[in-house]
């Protein structure tokens, strides 16, 4: 039987690249995303199954997990996340809720709902956090806090779910060239400045590619004696 994998936010960037690679390795791939058209069009291009599920919606997360009740699940990539740059001076209560509902509560609820399916196949989870958790960036405190939570809950779940045969790890990408940068609420000039600043401060002096992260995600999912770890994919940023 082919191994199966669920990738949240699989219609774009790192999630899409992971779906491409997993498909090429004969995984049975399901992607999910929040927008019906974007998810369906990505799934058609990829030739994989798609499910629409907004990670801020507990009901949709439960329905997504139910697809795997019977057959079980080998791999879960908790990749979907929101990112927006904003000063703490402008944070509203809704902003706190939005960041934590999508980036923290969503993946936790999905893992909770998938425990029986993952236990059935001794499955493995890769949660996508961010190099930002160790590297301060102005106007990114809510995003950084939500990603720090992902690192933290992953370590605890690794210990807790080991008894069910489920491994839990994190991937911590640095600056990766994906559409996320266009969703931050920045002008093209600001994006240019950020990219130039990043490239100068990355030891490898370039942005990473989504495909380079995808290779590490699949290696992590398949690394049978690895749990509770955070793997940096950041061109050397964390080592500085
Ligand atoms: N690129 C980087 O430099 C970088 C660095 C560190 C960490 N990361 C992390 O890597 C992961 C992938 O990011 P990416 O760079 O590939 O960005 P991306 O291309 O924007 O992909 C993010 C995906 O998440 C989906 N998504 C957002 N909110 C959602 C929600 N409420 N429910 C379901 N899906 C939702 C997006 O859907 P839409 O297409 O509808 O927006 C998209 O498919 C994220 O966890 C991000 O925080 C990225």
Structure tokens at 167: 């491994």
| Per-residue pLDDT reduced to its tens digit, 83-132 | 999 999 999 999 999 999 999 999 999 999 999 999 999 999 999 999 99
By CB neighbour count within 10 A (0-12 exposed, 13-18 middle, 19+ buried), where does 164 fall?
middle
Reduced to 3 states, what is the DSSP secondary structure of residue 30? strand
Pocket mutation for ligand 1, best pick of 6, 14, 211 (most atoms within 8 Å of C-beta): 14
Q: Is the CB of 81 under 6 A from ligand 1?
A: yes
Q: What positions carry a catalytic annotation?
A: 143
Cα dihedral: 169, 44, 83, 103 (round 10): -40
Q: Is 234 in the pocket of ligand 1 (CB under 6 A)?
A: no
Give the distance from CA 41 to its chain's centroid.
20
Domain count, the chain: 1
Could you read off the pLDDT of 212-224 as tens digits, one per residue? Answer: 999 999 999 999 9
Q: Which residue range forms the structural domain that includes residue 200?
A: 4-239
Would the CB of 169 count as within 6 Å of ligand 1? no
In this predicted structure, what is the pLDDT of residue 1?
Answer: 87
The pLDDT score that the predictor gives to residue 183 is 86
pTM for this predicted structure: 0.98
List pLDDT tens digits, range 23-61.
999 999 999 999 999 999 999 999 999 999 999 999 999
Residue 69: give its domain's CATH number: 3.40.50.720
Identify the pLDDT of residue 166: 98
């Amino acid at each position: 039987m082919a191994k199966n994998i669920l990738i949240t936010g699989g219609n774009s960037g790192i999630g899409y690249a992971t779906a491409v690679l997993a498909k090429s390795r004969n995984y049975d791939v399901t992607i999910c995303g929040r927008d019906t058209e974007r998810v369906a069009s990505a799934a058609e291009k990829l030739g994989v199954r798609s499910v629409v599920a907004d990670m801020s919606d507990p009901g949709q997360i439960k329905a997504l997990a139910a697809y795997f009740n019977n057959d079980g699940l080998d791999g879960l990539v908790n990749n979907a996340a929101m990112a927006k740059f904003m000063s703490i001076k402008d944070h509203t209560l809704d902003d706190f809720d939005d960041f934590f509902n999508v980036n923290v509560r969503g993946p936790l609820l999905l893992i909770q709902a998938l425990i029986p399916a993952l236990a059935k196949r001794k499955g493995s989870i890769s949660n996508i956090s961010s190099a930002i958790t160790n590297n301060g960036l102005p106007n990114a405190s809510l995003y950084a806090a939500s990603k720090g939570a992902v690192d933290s809950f992953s370590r605890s779940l690794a210990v807790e779910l080991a008894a069910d045969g489920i491994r839990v790890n994190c991937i911590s990408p640095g600056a990766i060239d994906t559409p996320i940068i266009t969703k931050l609420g920045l002008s093209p000039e600001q994006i240019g400045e950020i990219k130039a600043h990043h490239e100068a401060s990355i030891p490898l002096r370039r942005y990473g590619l989504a495909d380079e992260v995808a290779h590490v995600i699949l290696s992590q999912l398949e690394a049978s004696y690895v749990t509770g770890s955070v793997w940096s994919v950041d061109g050397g940023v964390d080592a500085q």
